[in-house]
Amino acid sequence: MTTPLVPDVSAGGLDHARRLPKVELHAPPRQVALMQTAEQLRLVTLDAFEQLRRDGVVYAELRFAPLFHTQRGLTPEQVVAAVDAAVAEGRTQTGVEVRLILCTLRHFTPEQALETAALAVRFAAMRDSAVVALDVAGDEANYPLAPSVPAFAYAADHGLALTAHAGEAAGPASVREVLAELRPTRLGHGVRSIEDPALVAQLARDRIHMEVCPTSNVQTNPSSASGKPASRSASAPTPAP
Dist CA 74 CA 32 (whole Å): 14
Question: Minimal CA–CA distance to 162: which of 138, 180, 141, 187?
Answer: 187
Question: Catalytic positions, please?
Answer: 168
Amino acid at 80: V
Q: What pTM was estimated for this model as a whole?
A: 0.77
The tens digit of pLDDT for each residue in 163-200 reads: 998 877 788 898 999 999 999 998 888 888 888 899 99
Give the range of the structural domain holding residue 45, as residue numbers without chain letter. 10-153
Contacts for 56 with CB less than 8 Å, ≥ 6 apart: none
Domain check: are 42 and 131 in the same one?
A: yes
What CATH number is attached to the domain comprising 109?
3.20.20.140
Q: Give bridge partners of residue 103 from the DSSP assignment.
A: 135
Whether the Cβ atoms of residue 71 and residue 36 lie closer than 8 Å to each other: yes
Question: Which secondary structure element, helix H or strand E, spans residue 97, and what is its range?
Answer: strand 97-105
Residue 4 domain flag? no
Count up the domains in the chain and report the number: 2
* Residues 172, 122 share a domain: no
State the pLDDT confidence band at 4, using cuts at 50, 70 and 90: very low
Is 1 part of any domain?
no
pLDDT digits (tens, 9 = 90+) for 100-155: 999 999 999 999 999 999 999 999 999 899 999 999 988 888 889 999 999 999 99
